[in-house]
Structure 1
Amino acid sequence: MSTQTGDALPSATADAGLPMPRVVLFDFDGVLLHGDAFGLFIRSRYQRSWWRKLLVLPCLPWLLLMLPFSRRLALRTLVHVALFGTGEQRYRAQAQACATELVQHSRRFNRDALRQLRRHQQAGDRVIVVTGCEQALVGSILEQLGLGDVELLASRLRPGWSGMRTGFHNIGPNKLKALAAHGVHEWHVAYTDSLMDVPMLKPAAESVLVNGTPKLCKKMDAALGRVVGRVEWQ
């Protein structure tokens, strides 16, 4: 298994098909941020609103029934309850406030990953954050970190009669769809911490797993059909 450090950029290849400047993709949750930003936002909604907790109670039997079969569907229900009665403008204000709170707690962020991102920018690479986190939230976080110029492809909510609801979920193969819609069809380096990003890592000339356990590295190697790069970042 190859190991890279945060002190140097992955080496460039001479493949003529790769664009110039190089395109470098970063996942957000688990790479630039320790944890799940949108999950933290949703938990804070429940912690600050007792009546939202009451709204979940009638859903508990259904949630417990669905959880073994579709964790994603169960989580979607919890998101919809957390955003019940919240319009688009109000949501954006709350997302920005949550971003401010997260950025104030700098230990939540991976300093080595942020330094590596900035190294890529300084080297003239085109950096794109491709994440399953919600766009308004992660966009506010990046802006407050001084990375507002970084291109962003993220999940999106949509307004509904009861409040904001889940829309496009930018995970797995959907990341390829988002990149294609953005006009990006080739990339050189991709950083992730998740096996769900295999579709994004496969086309990359260099795939880098951030803080992966030995078990996860083996799974990633098998899924990619090659040895994944590995970094240990704090």
Structure 2
Amino acid sequence: MSVKGRQYPKTRDGAPLVVFDFDHTLYDGDSGSHLFAWLIRRSWWRRLLSLPMLPVFLPLVAFLPTRRFGVSAFVWAGTVGFHRLKELDKLIDRYVATHAEEIRRRLLPIGIEALHRHRAAGDRVVVATGAPPELARAILAFVAHEDVPVVGTDVGPRLGGLGARRHCHNEMKMTMLREAGFRDEVAIAYSDSSADLPLLRAARKPVVVNPKPSRIAMFRRVLPAGTPILNWGCRKRGGDAVSPASAG
């Protein structure tokens, strides 16, 4: 397979399954928040609608048990008036096309190089993200020129707009990966987030990348001794710095 000059071999039978998180792993920041902030800012009435929601729903996003409810509220504010997922997908494609340079600056070259190396080795690579799958898919295709499978948060109709029906994180990420056909043992998993502990623990080789400094001790405590804890270029995150030459 060739992608913008890159030659990838066909995935071989029995190839290792390699799972990448997206936000703070391949992308510096929260891609879904950036998208929905843009959706809300598109019109004055959406901005007014979201203002009274901020003190109620924004704190919910910070905590794992309530994150889905907080995320869903802002997805709804950005999409109220939509009735089909295809409408959101079209806006996602427009957002990525019109913000390509900004998004390109946020992509982490070391992470993209690691993804490239796994694909070049013939590994079975999938991105599993809490963002809508079309967002990560569009960013990787339009900006990074990578066409990998993406499993992400399931968005559907809700109260006159769209909302997250199943948030692809924590145990649900493993469930959604299996439902998408990725049932083999995970050989390597890359993630920054404690919400991905089920994925990291399931992997033969977990790799923590760009963690919050306050979470490093927890990762060292609950993951196998010697688990790499790396920084792939997120300045405000922790981990051991690595060079592009050692990615993957």
Relative to the length of structure 2, the TM-score reads: 0.78
Whole-angstrom distance in 2 between the partners of 1:65 and 1:212: 20
Distance 1:135 1:60, change over 3 A: closer
- Are 1:81 and 2:77 an aligned pair? yes
Which residue of structure 2 aligns with residue 199 of structure 1? Answer: 198
Instruction: Identify if the C-alpha distance between structure 1 residues 225 and 104 changes in structure 2 by more than 3 Å, giving closer, same or farther.
Output: same
Alignment of 1:154-173 (within 5 A): 154-160=152-158, 162-173=160-171
Q: What is residue 44 of structure 2 aligned with on the other side?
A: 50
How do 1:104-183 residues align onto structure 2 when only pairs under 5 Å count?
104-105=101-102, 106-144=104-142, 145-148=144-147, 150-160=148-158, 162-183=160-181
Query: Equivalent residue of 2:167, what SS?
Result: coil
Displacement after TM superposition at 1:227 (Å): 3.7
Look up the equivalent residue of 2:123 and give its one-letter code: D
Per-residue deviation, residues 28-81 of structure 1 (Å, max 9, x unmatched): 011110011110011112222110122235546754897898454233222212
Is the CA contact (8 Å cut-off) linking 1:186 and 1:204 kept in structure 2? yes
Q: Which of 95, 100, 124 is residue 97 of structure 2 equivalent to?
A: 100
Instruction: Give TM-score, length-normalised by structure 1.
Output: 0.82
Which of 14, 21, 30 is matched with 1:27 structurally? 21
List gaps (5 residues or longer) in structure 2. 1-12, 234-248
The C-alpha deviation readout for 1:84-116, integer Å capped at 9, x for no partner, is 002333211111112223432221100010011
> How many Å apart are 1:185 and its aligned residue?
3.4
Give the deviation of 1:216 after TM superposition: 2.1
Unaligned 5+ segments in structure 1 are 1-18
- Whole-angstrom CA distance in 2 between matches of 1:62 and 1:34: 26
Identical aligned pairs, as a percentage?
Answer: 29
Aligned 8 A contact 1:98 1:137 in 2: no
| Post-superposition CA distance 1:149-185 (Å, at most 9, x none) | x121111211345122222210010111012213323
Report 1:2-17 matches (<5 A): none
Once residues 19 and 58 of structure 2 are traced to their aligned partners in structure 1, the CA distance between those partners, rounded to angstroms, is 36
- 1:84·1:162 contact (CA, 8 Å) conserved in 2? yes
**Aligned residue in 2 for 1:37:** 31
Aligned residue type for 1:212:
P
Root-mean-square deviation (Å) = 2.4
